Structure 1
Amino acid sequence: MTTVSSHVLDAVTGTPATGVRLTLIRLGNEAAEVRTGLTDADGRVSGWETAPGPHRIRFDTGAWFAARGIATFYPEVAIDFLADERHCHVPLLLSPFAYSTYRGS
């Protein structure tokens, strides 16, 4: 097993993005939802366990921006990655018309 975490930051305000819905999906012959949750007050989700292999984290950015009355170009951000035996941290820096990610620690 490996653990997966994420941290979502609002790049416009420089603050944590609280309440973003994330879905962890195991990819393969048939995609399977592993876990869903909301980012906490610090913009984080952590401690999700999964088997190694290809995965996707889907961030429901459209609903998060809509709840704030902000138009966005990206109604969803999907990040595919390979989970290995180490901890996988997948951060997202978010704004209405851009996003970036990297392999965190």
Structure 2
Amino acid sequence: MSGYLTTHILDTARGCPAEGIRIELYRVSGNSHKKIAETVTNDDGRTDAPILPADSFETGTYELIFYAGAYLRNTGQVSEDILFLDQVPIRFGMDDPDAHYHVPLLLSPFGYSTYRGS
């Protein structure tokens, strides 16, 4: 298999990449979640390497969890104890063993979106 997975985060409220957000990747099977990777975004809002590189790639269902709360507090966008968005989970499937999957997060304090990028 030569597929792999990348991600990045853009702060749409500030119009810039979101640096320093912790991301965890889980493989999902039924009710079972197995953590397979953890990383932090760099100054370009990206990870320094694919979060799931080709040598570890398997088709299946996955979940990315973006720990956005600390970033939103650190950038002064929120100050509440209870945040509207703290952890943002995105569950998705990858069925092509040779594809590059890119799952970005477009983030603001009160909303987010994602898509299959390139």
Q: Same fold (TM over 0.5)?
A: yes
Deviation at 1:61, TM superposition (A): 0.6
Deviation at 1:44, TM superposition (A): 0.6
Q: Is 1:52 matched with 2:59?
A: yes
TM-score using structure 2 length: 0.82
Q: Which runs of 4+ in 1 moved over 4 A?
A: none
Partner in structure 2 of residue 20 of structure 1? 21
Structure 1 gaps of 5+ residues are: none
Mapped partners of 1:87, 1:24: distance in 2: 16
TM-score using structure 1 length: 0.91
Amino acid at match of 1:40: N
Give 1 or 2: higher strand fraction: 1
Give the paired residue count: 105
Work out which of the two has the higher radius of gyration on C-alpha atoms and give 1 or 2: 2
Partner in structure 1 of residue 85 of structure 2? 74
**Could you say what the CA RMSD is over the residues aligned between the two structures, in angstroms?**
1.4
What whole-Å deviation, never above 9, does each CA across 1:7-63 have from its counterpart, x for those lacking one? 100001110001111001000042100100001111012422331100000000112
Secondary structure at 1:44 match in 2? coil
Secondary structure at 1:4 match in 2? strand
Partner in structure 1 of residue 114 of structure 2? 101
Structure 2 gaps of 5+ residues are: none
Deviation at 1:88, TM superposition (A): 0.9
